[in-house]
Chains A and B, each alone.
Chain A
Amino acid sequence: MSLVAQALRWTKAHLVLALGIVVLVYMFVPIAVVVLMSFNDPGKSKNVYRFHDFTLHNWAHPCGPAGMCHAVGISVGIGLLATLVATIIGTMAAFGLVRHEFRGRSFANTVIFLPMASPEIVMGSSLLALFVARGFGGRLGFWTIFIAHVMFCLSFVIVTVKARLSGLDDNLEQAAMDLYANERETFWRVTFPLVLPGILAAALLAFSLSFDDFIITNLNAGQTTTFPMFVWGAAQRGVPMQVNVIGTVMFLIAIVLVVGGEVNNRRQTRALAR
Chain B
Amino acid sequence: MAAITAPARATEDTAKRVGGGRWTAYWLLAPGALWLLLFFVVPFYSLVSASLFDPNGSVLTGYDVTYHVGNFGTAVKNYYPELLRSLWYAGLATLVCLVIGYVLAYAIAFKAGRWRNLLLVLVIAPFFTSFLLRTLSWKLILSDHGFIVDLFQKVHILGSDGRLLNTWFAVVSGIVYNFLPFMVLPLYASLEKIDGRLIEAAGDLYASPFTAFFKVTWPLSLPGVVAGTLLTFIPAAGDFINAQLLGGPGQRMVGNVIQSLFTSTQDYAAAGALSVILMALIVGLVLVYIRKVGTEELV
Residues of A within 8 A of B (CB): 14, 16-17, 19-21, 23-24, 26-31, 33-34, 37, 49-50, 89-90, 92-93, 95-102, 105-106, 108-123, 125-130, 132-133, 137, 147-148, 150-151, 154-155, 158-159, 162-163, 165-168, 170, 173, 183, 186-187, 191, 205, 208-209, 211-212, 214-215, 218-219, 227-228, 231-232, 235, 239, 243-244, 246-248, 250-251, 254-255, 258-259, 262
Number of A-B residue pairs, CB cutoff 8 Å, is 307
- Which of A27, A120, A232 counts the most B-chain CB atoms under 10 A from its CB? A27
CB proximity of A83 to chain B, nearest CB, Å? 14
Q: Given A23-B100, A114-B40, A127-B39, 17 other A-B contacts at CB below 8 A? A: A16-B106, A20-B104, A29-B137, A33-B141, A50-B140, A50-B145, A96-B29, A98-B11, A116-B231, A117-B231, A117-B234, A150-B35, A159-B4, A162-B8, A212-B132, A215-B241, A235-B132
Given contact pairs A16-B111, A126-B44, A214 touches B129 in the complex (Cβ within 8 A): no
Contact B141 A29 (CB under 8 A): yes
Contact B241 A34 (CB under 8 A): no
* Chain A residue contacts of B56, Cβ below 8 A: none
Contact B130 A227 (CB under 8 A): yes
Contact A130 B42 (CB under 8 A): yes
Say what secondary structure dominates the interface of chain A: helix
> What number of B residues sit within 8 Å (CB to CB) of A?
100
Contact B12 A166 (CB under 8 A): yes
Q: Which of B11, B49, B110, B128 is in CB contact (< 8 Å) with A166? A: B11
Stretch at the interface among B17-25, B74-82, B152-160, B197-205: B17-25
Q: Please, could you name 16 A-B residue pairs with CB atoms under 8 Å apart, sorted by A? A: A16-B103, A26-B177, A29-B137, A89-B31, A89-B35, A96-B27, A98-B15, A100-B24, A111-B33, A122-B279, A167-B7, A170-B15, A215-B255, A231-B132, A247-B129, A258-B125
CB proximity of A34 to chain B, nearest CB, Å? 5
Contact A93 B129 (CB under 8 A): no
Chain A, Cβ-Cβ closest to B43 = A126
Contact B5 A125 (CB under 8 A): no
Contact A93 B33 (CB under 8 A): yes
Given contact pairs A23-B103, A96-B25, A126-B43, A151 touches B15 in the complex (Cβ within 8 A): no
Contact B140 A20 (CB under 8 A): no
Q: A113 to B11, alpha carbons, bound, how many Å? A: 19
Q: A247 to B132, alpha carbons, bound, how many Å? A: 10
Q: Which of A21, A150, A228 is in CB contact (< 8 Å) with B130? A: A228
Q: Which of A27, A102, A132 is in CB contact (< 8 Å) with B22? A: A102
Chain A, Cβ-Cβ closest to B255 = A121
Residues of B within 8 A of A (CB): 1, 4-5, 7-16, 18-20, 22, 24-29, 31-33, 35-36, 39-44, 46-47, 49-50, 59, 100-101, 103-104, 106-108, 110-112, 117, 119, 121-123, 125-141, 143, 145, 177, 180-181, 230-231, 234-235, 237-241, 245, 254-255, 258-259, 262-263, 268, 271-272, 275, 278-279, 282, 299
